[in-house]
Amino acid sequence: MKKYVVTGGAGFIGSALVRALLARKDGAVEVIDNLLTGKKSNLAEVASRVVLHEIDIRDYTAIAGVIAGADTVFHLAAIPSVPRSITDPVPSHEVNIDGTFNVLRASAEGKARKLVYAASSAAYGDTDVLPKVETMPPNPKSPYAAQKLLGEYYCGVFSSCFGLDATSLRFFNVYGPRQDPDSPYSGVLSLFMRCLLERRPPTIHGDGEQTRDFTYVEDVVSLVIQASRAPGTAGKVYNAGNGGRYSLNRIWSILQGFEGVNIPPLYGPSRAGDVRDSQADTTTAVRELGHAPAFTIEDGLRRTLEWYRAAN
Ligand code: UD2
């Protein structure tokens, strides 16, 4: 029986990946998560089919035992917030850089067949041209972006120097069920969902005309699994986005339309480290990984909203 290890598997994206792997029924799934931002409840109905190791990727010895003998390691564990990496940079550095090094080292020494790394489109920073394509020079604007970029470089070096087949996917603003709206560092759409259901105005940082390639979690999960099986991708970096671009003002307007309400947002100062515009060129991921995003923004937003409504 193959073993799949998902670091960060109790998180929002990780738990969706765990469900997708279980649905394929071709391997055992083990999760490494320190429950800092992940939650046991994210795995509630699949708990009996998953081994959850409550350990920290900063602890090499602890994770090496779990990763040894894995077929595929999906490395999603991270402290995933741009502003958090500015207000509290040390843990963010230790988890995202030292922790990533530990996961790569454990995967190489444990002879994993494949590693897929959750990199970030934050690595691009602000570019003159959209959409953002993998051949553009990176230009990180925050510690988080720099950390995620270094993880890509390490995936490349582990592929070339240590024989680990590691592929990086640059996630673009993933949203969907189970994204946690309870933290000051929560993703914007989880906060929008809660505000909409509570009929409260969201706070928008800046003029709301910044844009993001909001990508539904199930599309990202499908791509992660495809990347784990595609040949010839060692050391490579791919965009994992939908290819669209929506301003925050537009998204809030779509959401209000769903509910038939009119709630003007509050506007506050722009956030340090914020990228202005983000949009993925999906050409290479489509060609080399078979990327085929299936959810329009309206589909994704509706599904997400219904999940939050039911969860309330
Ligand atoms: C997201 C991911 C990050 C990375 C990146 C890749 C989260 C929490 N962060 O960073 O891990 O992968 O995407 O593109 O998912 N905003 C508001 N009001 C709020 C909160 C946010 O206006 O209450 C704005 C924020 O200033 C930014 C935009 O919404 O312009 C998106 O912010 P975010 O924190 O959801 O995501 P981002 O793009 O910083």
Structural domains of the chain in order of their starting residue, each with its CATH number:
2-174+217-243+280-289 (3.40.50.720), 177-211+244-274+297-311 (3.90.25.10)
Confidence bin at 143 (pLDDT 50/70/90):
very high
Give, using CA atoms, the residue closest to atom 7 of ligand 1. 187
Beta-strand pair 211-212/246-247:
antiparallel
Q: What is the pLDDT of residues 147-193, one digit of tens each?
A: 999 999 999 999 999 999 999 999 999 999 999 999 999 999 999 99
CA separation for the pair 241, 155 (Å, rounded): 20
Q: Which residues line ligand 1 (CB under 6 A)?
A: 80-82, 120-122, 171-173, 187-188, 191, 203-205, 210, 212, 248, 271, 274, 278
Q: State both tokens at 260.
A: 């038939």
Give pLDDT, residue 217. Answer: 98
Q: State both tokens at 227.
A: 């990347």
Q: What is the pLDDT of residues 91-114, one digit of tens each?
A: 999 999 999 999 999 999 999 999
Q: State both tokens at 127.
A: 């570019």
Q: State both tokens at 239.
A: 């965009």
Give, using CA atoms, the residue closest to atom 21 of ligand 1. 188
Nearest atom in ligand 1 to the alpha carbon of residue 188 is 35
Cβ atoms of residues 193 and 258 within 8 Å: no
pLDDT at 269 over 90: yes
pLDDT at 312 over 90: no
Q: Distance between terminal CA atoms of the chain? A: 38
Strands (E) located in the chain: 2-7, 27-32, 50-53, 72-75, 114-120, 166-171, 174-175, 203-205, 211-212, 215-216, 237-240, 246-247, 266-268
Q: What's the mean pLDDT in 50-77?
A: 98
CA separation for the pair 195, 216 (Å, rounded): 19
Q: What is the pLDDT of residues 186-230, one digit of tens each?
A: 999 999 999 999 999 999 999 999 999 999 999 999 999 999 999
**Which of 243, 104, 233 lies closest to 162 in space, CA to CA?**
104
- 211 Cα to the center of ligand 1, angstroms: 10
Percent of the chain whose pLDDT exceeds 90: 99
Residue tagged active-site, from 117, 124, 144, 216: 144
The best mutation among 85, 100, 126, 205 to test binding of ligand 1, ranked by most ligand atoms within 8 Å of the C-beta, falls on: 205
Tell me what the pLDDT averaged over the chain comes to.
98
pLDDT at 287 over 90: yes
Q: What is the pLDDT of residues 109-141, one digit of tens each?
A: 999 999 999 999 999 999 999 999 999 999 999
Tell me which DSSP letter residue 237 carries: E
**Which of 262, 270, 271, 252 lies closest to 193 in space, CA to CA?**
252
pLDDT at 18 over 90: yes
Cβ atoms of residues 75 and 118 within 8 Å: yes
pLDDT at 10 over 90: yes
- 43 Cα to the center of ligand 1, angstroms: 24
- 80 Cα to the center of ligand 1, angstroms: 10
User: Is 154 annotated in the active site?
Assistant: no
Residues 6+ apart with CB under 8 A from 176: 12, 16, 216, 217, 218, 300, 303, 304, 307
- 42 Cα to the center of ligand 1, angstroms: 21
